[in-house]
Amino acid sequence: MKRLILKLLGVGLLSALLIGCQENSESYLNFTKTIQEPILVGLSTENSRTKYNQPLPKYEELNLNSQKADLGNMLYNDTRLSADGSLSCASCHLYHEGGDDNRPVSIGINGHEGPINSPTVLNSGFNFKQFWDGRARNLRHQAEGPVANPGEMGEEWPNVVQKIQAVPQYQALFKEVYPKQGITKYTITDAIAEFERTLITPAPIDAYLRGDDSALTTNQKEGYQLFQNYGCVSCHQGANFGGNMMQKFGAIAAFFSEKDQNLVNNGRFNLTKNEEDKHVFKVPSLRNVELTAPYFHTAGAETLDQAITVMGLNQLGRKIPQEDRAKIADFLTSLTGTLSVKTLTPPANSQP
């Protein structure tokens, strides 16, 4: 038993070390793939508050370019980025309603149903990679994808650039923000990425992690302790409670059947073709998870209780009792935060 405890504590220490890795790092990719035993770490409440999770940085600490972010705000809400003028980035990522669209899969142009559940855009600036399979190394790179995807916004980037260049107000704004580069695919996506970095949602958990004991209820505090004790923090760690590693869906007990033919469920394998990457996905942030049902890339869980049950069995090898699941779910509501962003309307073609 002592050997098992020491081994699991070692996993926890490795988790803490990996929190500081940078967005482009590949260090996470093999982390926890080799864990073969259930994780149940007995942590004391003393000094465990910020051992694995940290509060979000304050907005002013992010040093964002407000002019660039305002331009990105307009572009994020501009339907010119889609082929038929019907969709914007905000169509599938409603940042005032949890950062996703609360659908099992998103709907693209011409009513096309996408293959995967839309992740939240909130706090996405703290993810080490973007997309479920981690194929985008940063937010700017991610912003390139949906526009050119025929099943999403279905437009070609040269056409987008041309449409934005045709708007006098955009001409003036880009000249001010990007005086040397002007309007290009890069500057459009760069501005959108800067806006997305502003979408942070300070929550009661942040006040608690900074030392305010009154920020969480007794039940939520007990839920957070269980969240740590069961080992949820092995993957849902850092300031974003996730988003900083890749993990196999079904690390302990297989989640997908060997007969499963849905290519989306192959995860990172679709990029690397390495067998060990089959069913490996980016661990999602749990911030605002209360608002983002249905859960998982499969949209396979409709409630927090269902999601916790699956995670316990398939990721931790534990059947978590109902009373503990209820407390963990209550704790997760403390990650629901407040967004302070005003939607900026895109300019009309006729504006000077």
Q: Are residues 68 and 190 in the same domain?
A: yes
Whether residue 119 has a cis bond before it, omega within 30° of 0 = no
In contact, 54 and 244? CB cutoff 8 Å: no
Rounded to whole angstroms, the Cα distance separating 294 from 302 reads: 5
Of the candidates 192, 164, 170, the residue with the CA atom closest to the CA atom of residue 76: 192
At 351 the pLDDT is: 44
Sign of CA dihedral 97, 127, 20, 34: positive
- The answer to whether residue 108 sits within a structural domain is yes
Task: Please indicate, yes or no, whether residues 51 and 91 belong to a single structural domain of this protein.
Answer: no
Residues 31 and 78 in one domain: no
At residue 39, what is the residue type?
Answer: I
pLDDT, position 1:
39
Please check whether residues 219 and 322 belong to one and the same domain: yes
Diameter over CA atoms, the chain:
73
Q: Is 73 in the same domain as 192?
A: yes
Amino acid at 189: T
For residue 280, the surrounding DSSP H or E stretch is strand 280-282
Rounded to 5 degrees, φ, ψ at 248 are -75, 130
Is 346 part of any domain?
no
* Mean pLDDT split into 10-residue runs, the chain, 352 residues: 39 37 32 30 53 93 96 98 96 91 92 94 96 96 96 96 97 98 98 97 97 97 96 96 96 90 93 96 98 96 97 96 98 97 88 42
- Which domain covers residue 261, as residue numbers? 2-58+202-335
Distance CA 232, CA 255 (A): 17
Clarify whether residues 211 and 275 are in a common domain: yes
| Residue 352 within any structural domain of the chain | no
Give the rounded distance of the alpha carbon of 282 from its chain centre.
8
Q: How many domains does the chain have?
A: 2
In a domain, residue 209? The reply is yes
Read off the amino acid at residue 145. G
Residue 11 within any structural domain of the chain = yes
pLDDT for the residue numbered 97: 86
| Residue at 343 is within a domain | no
pLDDT at 49: 83
CB 249, CB 296: distance < 8 Å: yes
What pLDDT was estimated at residue 21?
A: 37
Q: Give, in order, the Cα–Cα distances in Å from 197 to each of 73, 232, 271.
A: 11, 26, 26
The identity of residue 66, as a single letter, is S
Residue-level pLDDT at 73 = 98
Q: From 346, 347, 317, select the one nearest 76 (Cα to Cα).
A: 346
pLDDT at 258: 83
Hey, which residues are catalytic here? 152
Q: CB neighbours (10 Å) of residue 229? A: 16
Whether 293 and 231 map to the same domain: the answer is: yes
* Alpha carbon separation from 108 to 3, 96, 116, 134 (Å, rounded): 52, 20, 12, 21
